[in-house]
Amino acid sequence: VSQSRYDSGVVSNSVVISRQRRLNCFFEIRQDGDKAQIVARGTAGLNAIIELPDAPIRGWRVVNNVLYVVAGLSLCKVLSNLSSSIVGTFDPNSTGLVSMADNAVQLLIADGAAGYVYTIVTGSYAQSALNTAGSFGKIADANFPNGTNSVTFQNGFGIAAKPNTRQFYQSGFYDFTNWTSALSLPIFGTKDDGSDNLP
């Protein structure tokens, strides 16, 4: 449904006019010819539904209907009933936004300094200290590109960008703790569709 230029962001009595609904914000229509004729202004929420033990929120990801939030130096697990618990703690020098990916059995987190893994499902991983569900720790494999702040998951493999390069590194199959091939070499490739570096 299209929205008129001067729509207030409130559902109209006739949904043909507008079905738009704004949450925790309102539109201010500027009458004095500013560059922006309509400005969305934020408002505080009415009800606090959950408060995490640490701040600020640095990233989050939903895996198997569970919300994982990096808040301050804590990895928090939030269930659908809004109960939360701390399941991991980052190094004291960990700051800024994080990048997160999952393969449904492990959660991969990069904070721009190191990589971390939270084990969701018990398995047999290269880093045996992280074999049990609920384990959290730093990636020990020397071939993980520490310093990355860009990770993703594709076709069974974790992928991490090497900072300030066009190179990306690949994890073992469904194992974010393993970044070394059977030949004891790193598994990496180079982006060749442009000269710019990976983010």
Could you give the CA distance from residue 184 to residue 49 in angstroms, rounded to a whole number? Answer: 48
Per-residue pLDDT tens for 116-150? 999 999 999 999 999 999 999 999 999 999 999 89
Nearest to 99 by CA among 144, 153, 47: 153
Residue 3, pLDDT score? 41
Mean pLDDT of the chain: 84
Please say if the pLDDT value at position 99 is more than 90.
yes
Per-residue pLDDT tens for 14-49? 666 666 666 777 777 777 766 677 777 777 766 677
Please say if the pLDDT value at position 73 is more than 90.
yes
Could you give the CA distance from residue 118 to residue 125 in angstroms, rounded to a whole number? Answer: 12
- pTM for the model: 0.73
Could you give the CA distance from residue 110 to residue 113 in angstroms, rounded to a whole number? Answer: 7
Give the CA angle between residues 149, 177, 93 to the nearest 5°.
45
Taking CA atoms, 14 is separated from 5, 11, 18, 19, 57, in Å, by 17, 8, 7, 8, 39
Please say if the pLDDT value at position 70 is more than 70.
yes
Please say if the pLDDT value at position 4 is more than 50.
no
Dihedral sign for Cα 132, 133, 134, 137, please: positive
Residue 39, pLDDT score? 78
pLDDT tier, 5 (very low <50, low <70, confident <90, very high otherwise): very low
> Mean pLDDT throughout 179-196?
72
Please say if the pLDDT value at position 152 is more than 50.
yes
Residue 46, pLDDT score? 66
pLDDT tier, 10 (very low <50, low <70, confident <90, very high otherwise): low
Please say if the pLDDT value at position 2 is more than 50.
no
Residue 14, pLDDT score? 66
Beta bridge partners of 62: 67
Name the residue with higher pLDDT: 169 or 47.
Answer: 169
Residue 182, pLDDT score? 76
